A = this chain, B = another copy of it.
């Protein structure tokens, strides 16, 4: 079995390549990369040095547009960019227009949509969905099956536990007005959210604040404060030894 390598693609030295790989037009792959079986790299994708991509991941996919989608305006997307030292698991989908900075890790079965940017050394966990137009800072950790809705903004050193759910539409798909109010979740530097919590649209989680597991967050959270419950209420300051400045 063989690899399909488009004549316009450019592959540098040291590539370790599995079976049945598809490398499309104008793709560029840096030195010493490791590409698993059946990986598909769509046209224009730019991959740095020392990148690992595991079996059956799809990189640089073009979005589909539904007649019912909340975001209908077509845009010209820039190519997908995967910087040096990124590690991408099996069966992920990374869209055209996404950018992964140096050393990002994306685990198996995760997706990163168009016009989203992931900061250096951030970990995107297994099965995580990062929607379009999301900005994530450096050294964040977003754990298994968490859902980061469109238009969210996550600063450096944030932590999102497994199965956390973000929302961005307080009209749940009704009224024309809602398009004016679409707002994701904002996490300021070092904010953390516990497992399986739900964050309502437009909420800001303050700097180094902590949301306890299973909470429903309906109001902004003050910096360095712990909240918990449904709806979430303030319970105590974040312990000093857990603050970013103490690490």
Contact A126 B145 (CB under 8 A): no
How many angstroms between the C-alpha atoms of A232 and B244 in the bound complex? 31
Contact A40 B58 (CB under 8 A): no
Instruction: Label chain A's interface by main secondary structure.
Output: loop
Partner of A109, one of B54, B103, B111, B242: B111
Contact B61 A55 (CB under 8 A): yes
Contact A40 B37 (CB under 8 A): yes
Contact B196 A198 (CB under 8 A): yes
Which residue of chain B lies nearest to A64 when distances are taken between CB atoms in the complex? Answer: B87
How many angstroms between the C-alpha atoms of A100 and B146 in the bound complex? 27
Contact A56 B91 (CB under 8 A): yes
Partner of A196, one of B19, B52, B196, B243: B196
Cβ–Cβ < 8 Å partners of A73 in chain B: none
Assess A192 versus B175: contact at CB under 8 Å? Given A89-B64, A216-B213. Answer: no
Cβ–Cβ < 8 Å partners of A36 in chain B: 40
How many angstroms between the C-alpha atoms of A18 and B38 in the bound complex? 12
| Range for the number of chain A residues in contact with chain B | 35 or more
How many angstroms between the C-alpha atoms of A156 and B117 in the bound complex? 36
Cβ–Cβ < 8 Å partners of A38 in chain B: 20, 38, 40, 56
0/1 interface trace, chain A 99-133, chain B, CB 8 Å (1 if under): 00001010111010000000001010011010100
- Cβ of A59 to closest chain B Cβ, rounded Å: 10
Assess A66 versus B200: contact at CB under 8 Å? Given A40-B38, A172-B192. Answer: no
- Cβ of A214 to closest chain B Cβ, rounded Å: 4
Cβ–Cβ < 8 Å partners of A229 in chain B: 230
0/1 interface trace, chain A 127-161, chain B, CB 8 Å (1 if under): 10101000000010100110101000000000101
0/1 interface trace, chain A 3-19, chain B, CB 8 Å (1 if under): 01000000000000011
Partner of A58, one of B19, B52, B55, B175: B55
6 closest A-B pairs by beta carbon, nearest first, are: A214-B216, A198-B214, A196-B198, A174-B242, A165-B196, A163-B165
A residues with a Cβ closer than 8 A to B are 1-2, 4, 18-20, 22, 36-38, 40, 52, 54-56, 58, 61, 64, 66-69, 87, 89-91, 93, 103, 105, 107-109, 111, 121, 123, 126-127, 129, 131, 139, 141, 144-145, 147, 149, 159, 161-163, 165-167, 171-175, 177, 192, 194-196, 198, 200, 210, 213-214, 216, 229-230, 241-244, 246-247
